[in-house]
A and B are shown apart, each in its own frame.
Chain A
Amino acid sequence: MSIAVTTQIICFSVLSLVIILGALGVILLESIVYSAFLLGGVFMSVAGLYLLLNASFVAAAQVLVYVGAVNVLIIFAIMLVNKKEDLKPIDNIKSRRIISTSICLTLLSLLIRVDLSNIWRLADPQASIGEESTIRIGEHLFSDYLLPFEVASILLLMAMIGAIVLARRDVMNEDISTGLPVDQELIEKSNEPLLMKKN
């Protein structure tokens, strides 16, 4: 076995271990902050797997989008609303956990079955794309994948408008969910000094 192959196997096993343990940590840890940081670690390891597959552009894009944007925003949001608040105890937590675990395990076994029964084939197993992959991705994005690419941007636009509507409820005249008029104190408050009120 050559040194390159050995390195590859070691890297693969370490990365897979980190992904599996990290993903378990994301859902099982009590602290939401730890979960968020572990999620970043999982994203990074997935980028490492892409690197092993010779897809360096996809790996860098994974780091840029998932670690640099998605995960940073998740952590950012957690820290902005980081209230120390005890969660309400839920009834029959044990049976709920057993049900959700069994559903997850069923899904996992289904996925394993799919993985084993399907024959995974590359379009051309001999052609190693490597550094050319950036050009290929560009060609596909502007030809046969143009419509999905554009639709994805519409999806992002919808998500953004939704987020603005939810975050800026105070600028609307009436509440979108209840239909009642909301008080506009936040935006139309006259400029009174706060210290005067105490007298």
Chain B
Amino acid sequence: MNTGLDLEYSFNEILKGFGLSSELAHIIWLPLPMLLVLVSAVVGVLVTVWLERKISAAAQQRIGPEYAGALGVLQPIADGLKLLVKEDIIPAKADSILFTAGPILVLVPVILSWLIVPFGQNLLISNVGIGIFLWIALSSIQPIGLLMSGYASNNKYSLLGGLRAAAQSISYEIPLALSVLAVVLMTNSLSTVDIVNQQSGAGILSWNIWRQPVGFIIFWICALAECERLPFDLPEAEEELVAGYQTEYAGMKFALFYLGSYINLILSALLVSILYLGGWGFPVPVEMIAKILNLPINAPLIQVFTASIGIVMTVLKAYLLVFIAILLRWTTPRVRIDQLLDLGWKFLLPISLANLLLTAGLKLAFPQFFGG
């Protein structure tokens, strides 16, 4: 396996050329990928908001945003600016400390989870050994923020929304983790980079979706439930709960919830593409193309080309899934809370357990296909 581009190494070499110590170069390097990922996450949200407006309009035979920029591409920026300059209201009888801390607790774990999203062999912030497990652990913090804001708003709809959000997220975390576990079992590693590399053998044929079709569907359903997207948006069901835990929020605090839910959607789409759709891999292996064209795989130009293909493929797969999620939101009705919990505990949990057992059995029976 080639190492691909190593931007950190070359950056440090350049700084050392200016006579800086390697420690200082490392400290200057550290915030750069984090800033880059933060910016790309926020830009991703803007794109998704625009897509949501346009696709919902198309689903309902409307035109959608049109006047702000060409095809209304500047509409999400206008939305963001509006939220930014709106008055920040804390209700008189709300608990102001918890009211402020709630949205922060919802947003921070989601952004931290971007730590493990790889866009290429070395194009991620940190290849931590516990990889995907870090995301599962971090996403379990979110319900505390939701409960906190639901309680602090001092509003019965908010409290009900917060309780629903916590119940939903606890019940869907277990099948989600079990389906991830099946993939981890095949990879022998928790690291996201290893998970993608394990699928890179024969292009599209070696993607995990063929070996884990059930796991893929379970993961996608649970990811939608964790993101509180329709058909699982019970915590903020407008017709029943006004806006759930967001009811009392305005201005930037509301924008944090808004950002959090969209960043979470993009993150889930990225993780589905990493776990099941080959991550940054092109449907035909890049090594094979290079061999046909008779080019050395380690030539600098090829390296740049491979890295950009990796980024494009990851983002393309993720946005395909985001498109499906948006289409689902505007075409499906909402499930009831008892149907939601029944689906989670009585259907997805047993199926994901059976899937795990089956994967373990197949791994022992056919080690060459299921990562022995």
A residues with a Cβ closer than 8 A to B are 2-4, 33, 37, 40, 44, 56-57, 60-61, 63-64, 67-69, 71-73, 75-76, 79-80, 82, 130-131, 134
Contact = CB atoms under 8 A, between A and B. Distances in A.
What interface size band does chain B fall in?
20 to 34
Contacts of A71: 144
B134 interface: yes
B130 A37 contact: no
Contacts, number: 71
Contact of B140 (A2, A57, A67, A76): A67
A72 B144 contact: yes
B190 A37 contact: no
* Residue with the highest number of chain B CB atoms closer than 10 Å, among A4, A71, A79, A134: A79
Interface string B229-260: 00000000000000000000000000000000
B170 A69 contact: yes
Contact of A57 (B133, B163, B167): B133
B163 A76 contact: yes
Contact of A3 (B23, B134, B141): B23
Contact of A72 (B98, B136, B143): B143
Contacts of B218: none
B66 to A, nearest CB: 43
B147 A72 contact: yes
Nearest to A37: B148
Interface of B: 23, 27, 98, 128-130, 133-134, 136-138, 140-141, 143-144, 147-148, 150-151, 159, 162-163, 166-167, 170, 173, 190
Given A37-B98, A68-B141, A71-B144, A79 B163 contact: yes
Nearest to B134: A60
A79 B130 contact: no
8 contacts: A33-B98, A56-B130, A60-B133, A63-B137, A64-B133, A64-B136, A68-B141, A79-B162
Contact of B147 (A44, A64, A79): A79
Given A3-B23, A134-B190, A69 B144 contact: no
A80 B151 CA distance: 11
Contacts of B138: 63
B144 A67 contact: yes
A54 B144 CA distance: 26
Contacts of B98: 33, 37
A56 to B, nearest CB: 5
A76 B137 contact: no
B200 to A, nearest CB: 22
Nearest to A62: B137
A36 to B, nearest CB: 9
A40 B105 CA distance: 11
Contact of B166 (A2, A3, A4, A72): A72
Contacts of A131: 129
Q: Which 6 A-B pairs have the closest CB atoms?
A: A68-B140, A131-B129, A60-B137, A64-B137, A63-B137, A56-B130
Contact of B23 (A2, A73, A75, A130): A2
